[in-house]
Amino acid sequence: MTKLRVCLAVFIAVPAAAQTAVDVVPVVSKMVERQVKLPGEIYPFLSVAIHSKVTGFVKAIDVDRGSAVKEGQLLATLEAPEIAAQISEAQAKARAVELQVAEAQARLSTAEGTYLRLRAASTTPGVVAINDLDIAEKSVEAARAVVQATQGSMEAAKASTQALRDLQGYLTIRAPFDGIVVERDVHPGALVGPASQAPLLKLQQVSHLRLTVAVPEAAVGGIVDGARVPFTVAAFPGVVFHGVVSRIAHSMDEATRSMAVELDVTNPDMKLAPGMYPEVTWPVRNPQSSLLVPPSSIVTTTERMFVIRVRNGVAEWVTVTRGAAAGDLVEVIGALKEGDLIVRRGSDELREGTPLKIVGKVAAAGAKVPLSSGRV
């Protein structure tokens, strides 16, 4: 009997001695938000090179580089005497055509009067020949056609005169929008026109800017329209500016595998300038919850990357793919679920199937939660 008790004690003690004590942590599932630094480029919200529509000489330039202008403000005045001469000629032609219209209307009135008298006389048999009445009627139709033609010529002459006046209006150049004159390439006396290569002025709107960021493909899923994004520029160290996501290309650049995103930036104090290259702190949000584990739990060998899960009291190797860091944890992708217990400090020396004994407490969401049992 004593010998049986000794054998039974040895049989019971063997499994307990074969267990390996491990410290475990649960797999955490939560939305991961991280930030990456991306380069950007600042552009003016509006930019235009101002050319002359008509050929002429620069009479005056009322602004210079750095001038702040308002929409409709006078920028430059040109002079082109030949346009004034063309307007005078067109006006003279229009007056001549008006006289022609008046003469044609007078002829039409005379022809109509003659026709009406002949028609009235033709009611008495034998007084008026039918042929004379037909001739009078045809004369009315011809006179009416002449009036219509001359009236058309008069409208064309007036339109030509107005077109020349409109062309003359282009000799006065005004600002198309509020902005800053960033370039001035001409001076009074210069001959300018549609054939000129260089613009008279270059105007940009810099109180409102566009910040363009090339977002990598891996971060495209986290783009949120209307998000407020911080950025910095080298010209003002330590100063954080912000832009609002306003325009998304919705198309990947085949060369860079990135998507262009535009942010609207207000610039009331004019600190920022087009051409600056800011560093954008871009938020990356995964559309689904991620599984997170401590970095020490991930084991990497020449064959695979895995974590060791405690399942039914034994070690199980679960192949995973490592993702982005999220604070003190690391995102993993694999056949895991929230709440799975994994070995805190994994090692390939802890082989699959090894009996395990959990010691200590399980850290869950930053808190220490005691286990109800020493086994899983």
373 band by pLDDT with thresholds 50, 70 and 90: very low
The pLDDT tens digits of the residues spanning 18-38 come to 788 899 999 998 877 777 899
Residue 362 pLDDT: 65
Q: Which CATH number fits domain 19-31+289-369: 3.40.50.261, 2.40.420.20, 3.40.720.10, 1.10.10.10?
A: 2.40.420.20
100-116 pLDDT, tens digit per residue, is 888 878 888 887 888 78
Q: What's the confidence (pLDDT) of residue 368?
A: 38
**Neighbouring residues of 24: CB distance < 8 A, sequence distance ≥ 6:** 310, 341, 342, 343, 344, 358, 362
The pTM for the full model equals 0.62
**pLDDT computed for residue 11 by the predictor:** 40
Domain 52-77+171-199 sits in CATH at 2.40.50.100
Query: For residue 275, what pLDDT is reported?
Result: 94
Nearest CA to 209 among 238, 233, 234, 175? 233
CA distance 202 to 184: 7
With 0-12 / 13-18 / 19 or more C-beta atoms within 10 angstroms meaning exposed / middle / buried, residue 10 is exposed
Whole-angstrom CA distances from 160 to 98, 101, 163, 299 are: 14, 17, 5, 85
Is 34-44+205-285 CATH 1.20.1090.10? no
Q: In the structure encoding, which two tokens stand for residue 331, read together?
A: 């995102």
pLDDT of residue 110: 85
Mean of the pLDDT values across residues 65-93? 87
Residues 6+ apart with CB under 8 A from 203: 47, 48, 50, 69, 175, 176, 177, 179, 180, 181, 182
